[in-house]
A and B are shown apart, each in its own frame.
Chain A
């Protein structure tokens, strides 16, 4: 299994979990042409798309994806906010109920964000094992045992945000009320059993309030795991076993 980063951050998010036989699109927050390019215009293996919430940096191309004949799975609230509920390609799921796309077994859970019905995902596939995907949240209420790979938001550093947004109080407040700081990212990771984890991918870094190298360094030291910053175009081996 490979994880392909189409893009990550406030300008757009899209990630692809791709095995030999099938692929899963996570988020549609980039131009549809970028998604098509990432798939080399071959959607034959794509089993569907899952979307965490309706904000444009996560759902910009949802309608185009549906028009291309691809099912988009999101909560009812997210589809309602996107005005896609009536589309026959709009599929809804409920929190804490498993659904299956190809061999991907997916369970969504609730997170706290300024969206209608936002969620995070626990994804299981025989090749990549248990994957945790969380973005656009302040913290995660839940922990998950037996994780093999983790894709987690590390949006901002409190000290950088304080320095840079000193005179933009409401922007700073919006960030801390809706996104995960590097401190919370670290404590979230350490609250989970990391013994089987192969990869930790840090996503949705703020353009101005983060420091990619320092974040990577910090999480590597804290977890002793392979940590990757989600830069556009990066592809990562994403398997149950490290080798």
Chain B
């Protein structure tokens, strides 16, 4: 495709296509900088990132416009104001490990204004499902099963730590009263290794430890607590929100568990750093055809004096290749002539 055509095509491209192109540009290439071909799965994933970020920007812009001018940020949340380079790099990294923003709690885009660049950085925050997926796919020494539980004041819990007599770490846990479990005190998770139970591990987190992990600007709608009350566009005191503390505690436990799994970068490295080609089936056929038609077809003899003799009998494929090459060259020459004739002469 000529440069002119390429520019015209990009102008007509949808924002989704432009986004995909921007991301492809950031994909690592081989030393010879050959163009990257994405699999249909990767393309779909990148488009999902576009769709999600687009909707997040739309929602955030609506919220921005809903504020009175006094409290509103002057910079609109539009694609033009997004730091595309950073976003493309992040999409490359996260899509390569299979995190899909359209799946629940895989990964969520959150726009933050970067005052230095006067652009919005889109932070991609891994959700607990995303962390689990990453840990299971690329983790080193991943537990086979994990039990997560919340502990209320009436529940019976006792940890059974490993010692000289107890080879496997464990715990006692009973819910005494299902319908009135009392105050939420914290939670725990138990990582189990089927083949090697001696590696089983219990992690207990108290309320204090979980609250330490609460985000600085955590929304009271989720975590509970107080928030400003607005009446007719003006602040009028505070209101208490109950929130979803149990869910938040459980999410924190899960994040803590999966985030702690060491990632074996070797497993990701090749995946990330090299790039990538067609659908597997087409590739296999192409390679098999190449091998069948070209492998071991020509003999080279080198005698004791170092004289090289190459087998003169060229294979059918080779002569066909030559024919194609000649036709190809003819076509290029013809195109050059046409271009010369139609070009404005500069």
Contact = CB atoms under 8 A, between A and B. Distances in A.
Nearest to A96: B308
A9 to B, nearest CB: 12
B309 to A, nearest CB: 10
Contacts of B62: none
Interface in A95-145: 96-98, 100, 105, 107, 109, 112, 114-116, 122, 124, 130, 138-145
Contact of A122 (B42, B271, B300): B300
Nearest to B280: A169
Contacts of A170: 38-39, 42, 271, 274-277
A55 B34 CA distance: 14
Given A114-B30, A139-B296, A191-B296, A167 B137 contact: yes
Given A143-B298, A143-B300, A138 B34 contact: no
B32 interface: yes
Interface in B121-175: 137
B287 A188 contact: no
Given A144-B302, A188-B295, A107 B31 contact: no
Contacts of B39: 169-170
A172 to B, nearest CB: 6
B291 A184 contact: yes
A122 B310 CA distance: 13
Interface residues of B, number: 37
Contacts of A140: 295-296
Interface residues of A, number: 43
A105 B276 contact: no
Contact of B271 (A105, A116, A171): A171
Contacts of A116: 31-32
A198 B161 CA distance: 60
Task: Tell me what chain B mostly uses at the interface: helix, strand, loop, or mixed.
Answer: mixed
A168 to B, nearest CB: 5
A81 interface: yes
Interface in B245-279: 266, 270-271, 274-279
A101 to B, nearest CB: 13
Nearest to B307: A98
Interface stretch (A14-22, A41-49, A173-181, A230-238): A173-181
B301 to A, nearest CB: 6
A129 to B, nearest CB: 10
Pairs A-B, 7 closest by C-beta atoms? A170-B276, A191-B296, A139-B295, A173-B277, A139-B291, A173-B283, A98-B306
Interface of B: 30-32, 34, 38-39, 41-42, 98, 137, 266, 270-271, 274-280, 283-284, 287, 290-291, 294-302, 306, 308, 310
